[in-house]
Amino acid sequence: MKNFLRGITLLVCFLFYITGAAQDAKLARANKKFNQLAYIDAIEIYKDLVAEGFKSYDVFKKIAEAYYYNGKYSQAQEWYKKITENYADSVSAEHYFRYAQTLRATKEYDESDDMMQIFTSLSGNDFRARLFQENPDYVAVEGYKESLYEINMLRTLNSRYSDFGPAYYKGQIVFASARDTGTVSRRIHRWTNQPFLDLYKSTIKEGGTMSPPSRFSNKLNTKYHESSPTFSKDGKTIYFTRNNYTKDKYKASKDGINKLKIYKSTYLASSKNWTIAEEVPFNSDDFSNAHPALSSDGKYLYFSSDRAGGVGRSDIWRVAINEDGTYGEPENMGKPINTEGREAFPFMSDTGNLYYASDGYPGLGGLDVYVTNPSSEEIAVVGVGAPINSSSDDFGYIVNDSIKMGFFSSSRAQGMGSDDIYRFKQTEKPPRKCDIPISGYVTDKNTKTPITDAKVQLLDPDNKVLQEVQVSPKGKYTFDLVCSQNYIIRASSKTYYSNEVFVMTPATEQSLERDIELELRLTEVGVGDDLAKLLNLNPIYFDYNKSDIRPDAALELTKVISAMKQVPAMVINVRSHTDSRGKDSYNLSLSDRRAKSTVAYIISRGINAERISGNGYGETQLVNGCGNNSDCTEEQHQLNRRSEFIVVNQ
């Protein structure tokens, strides 16, 4: 009997071992699929493990991520909820953000805001957190624009697969599609479980209807992905996105991932065909470039990339196209265009507006379409609003400004496939009446006194002046704004630098206040003047018995540096003073060290050493009666530890 029980025990242990080993092997296989971006396969294996009783934060998280990367937000939401409820201590700020995105996708905006509050508390200086805090009425603002557009899903154009990313080309649109065209071999992309994409074309008929699509070019379409085309104005040049696939070689990055690249081809009238596509020189095997978009003058190529030096997961970049066909260095468009999230699918309109998709701004859910003018002095990013934006992914927006019509792509449920192309027309319907009075004071940044000669301009996001007013004797301005709009308010004065604030008005009537501070412009400087007085500097204080530059002093020295850069011929002498405590000889030496420390700091910030000198005066020039053996407070002594900035030549 004892041997029998021992045998049963060994058998049970063996079965547990076999089961554990099998689960380990399955988990390794799932992780490999996930790392290869084969998300559909990974989901299937992970969910098998969960059905077998396997539970872990990492598995639940990866199921959520795999659904999220496929735009399956309702399914992703289920698994993000599991990790926030069961593994809250392990959940990162980024995953709270993505959970919030999935809640927006199912129109659970209050619950989404709750997750965004947690994200904000965990994310530090993340730009997306600031945008959320500054735009509490984002749902109402986006929905308010509903009456400005009419949209139609194009049944002739779309299929039961993905159709997206249209571009204008000679009275047609060219777009990407994973549709079944009856080819013998069907290659399936394991990220989406759909066929690889090719470029298709459709003619825009009179009245806005579309012809049945056909393949765009057998010379450009391959067995891998082609998408997101853009064309030069003369139609002779195309840029488009393709997998890293050159000369029949499918290349991978150092981490084993096949990245996306931008390719270029030229149409030859002699052969009536496109040349073999060649990749642009700023591609790499180790990051993706995608979604090219030419500016209307052909001088810049905008694109999306996850290359190093960006702000988020993918950013909008641009590169100059030189007259000889070479390229400049790619430049990141920076904030506020980019966020720590995803920015993609740029489009440049003929009026110079940049339209693109982002999930970093507070929107209706998933990717939403935003617009800005990148050449504006103050860049304002504005959502195009519903019905173009929705709780699903909305992207690939293009517009013909002259006829106020265009196309966009969306994964919304009303479509035929996973992504569909919609046509829109801007309507002439006036928005409902909703006024927002705004007022504020224009003041000196340092003294806080009103600037009575200031002028204040009201501008739209395209930098067009809508109104200009002169401030009152107390420095006050007022404007009447409209609900759910974006404005720039710019203040200027002859003796001050201009400054401006960006205003996004709420969806309901209420009063707003926005004060504007201006920094004094250095105009007339004479020999013997003290810059500290001309610039209204706060005193340059030093800690007792120290010569180090304090953070508060560094802020004031920045103003001196700015003034010296304004007047390149100006030469100054820094005069440092101590309080009376300590020996006279020591204080003289200490003040000299402080003067030299101040001079060294200013030189380190780009001022030529020949333009600045420094001397210490010890306790010989006290500003109060706190001499030797006086009974003064620390604050009174501190007033004597100061620096002056005397102009000695200009």
Cα distance between residue 87 and residue 315, in whole Å: 31
DSSP, collapsed to helix, strand or coil, labels residue 546 as: coil
Hey, what CATH topology would domain 531-649 get? 60s Ribosomal Protein L30; Chain: A; (3.30.1330)
Task: Give the residue from 185, 280, 275 showing the smallest Cα distance to 242.
Answer: 280
- As a CATH number, domain 2-124 is 1.25.40.10
Type of residue at 71 = G
Cα distance between residue 107 and residue 287, in whole Å: 34
Cα distance between residue 172 and residue 21, in whole Å: 57
Per-residue model confidence as pLDDT tens digits over 529-556: 888 888 777 777 766 667 777 777 777 8
Is the per-residue pLDDT at 354 higher than 70?
yes
Q: Which span out of 202-216, 316-330, 405-419, 594-608 was modeled with the highest average pLDDT?
A: 316-330
Cα distance between residue 24 and residue 27, in whole Å: 5
Residues 99-104, mean pLDDT to the nearest whole number: 92
Instruction: Parse the chain into domains and list their residue ranges.
Output: 2-124, 146-426, 435-518, 531-649
Residue 181: the pLDDT is 60
Is the per-residue pLDDT at 503 higher than 80?
yes
**What's the half-sphere exposure (Cβ side, CA atoms, 13 Å) at 367?**
27
**Is the model more confident about 190 or about 573?**
573
Per-residue model confidence as pLDDT tens digits over 227-252: 999 999 999 999 999 988 766 676 77
Whether 509 and 470 have beta carbons less than 8 Å apart is answered as no
Cα distance between residue 64 and residue 83, in whole Å: 9
Dihedral (CA of 136, 313, 77, 70) sign: positive
Query: Own/partner pairs for 9-12, CB < 8 Å, 24+ apart?
Result: none
Average pLDDT, the chain: 86
Q: What is the model's pTM?
A: 0.65
Hey, what CATH topology would domain 146-426 get? Neuraminidase (2.120.10)
Q: Which span out of 49-53, 315-319, 448-452 was modeled with the highest average pLDDT?
A: 315-319
Residues 590-618, mean pLDDT to the nearest whole number: 90
Per-residue model confidence as pLDDT tens digits over 464-499: 889 999 999 899 999 989 887 888 899 998 778 788
Whether 417 and 487 have beta carbons less than 8 Å apart is answered as no
pLDDT band of residue 140 (cuts 50, 70, 90) is low
Is the per-residue pLDDT at 1 higher than 70?
no
Per-residue model confidence as pLDDT tens digits over 34-74: 887 788 888 898 999 989 888 899 999 999 999 998 888 99
Per-residue model confidence as pLDDT tens digits over 4-28: 455 555 444 444 445 556 678 888 9
**Is the model more confident about 173 or about 563?**
173
Q: Evaluate the omega torsion of the peptide bond into residue 292 and state whether it is cis, within 30 degrees of 0.
A: no
Cα distance between residue 542 and residue 551, in whole Å: 10
Residue 15: the pLDDT is 46
- As a CATH number, domain 435-518 is 2.60.40.10
Residue 428: the pLDDT is 66
The secondary element (H helix, E strand) that includes residue 142 is helix 138-143
Asked whether the domain spanning 435-518 has the same topology as the one spanning 2-124, the reply is no
Residue 608 burial (CB < 10 Å; 0-12/13-18/19+)? exposed
Which phi and psi angles does 210 have, rounded to 5°? Answer: -120, 145
Percent of the chain whose pLDDT exceeds 70: 90
Task: Give the residue from 405, 416, 412, 404 showing the smallest Cα distance to 386.
Answer: 412
Q: Which of 136-140, 142-146, 260-264, 573-577 is predicted with the least confidence, judged by mean pLDDT? A: 142-146
Residue 429: the pLDDT is 57
Residue 329: the pLDDT is 95
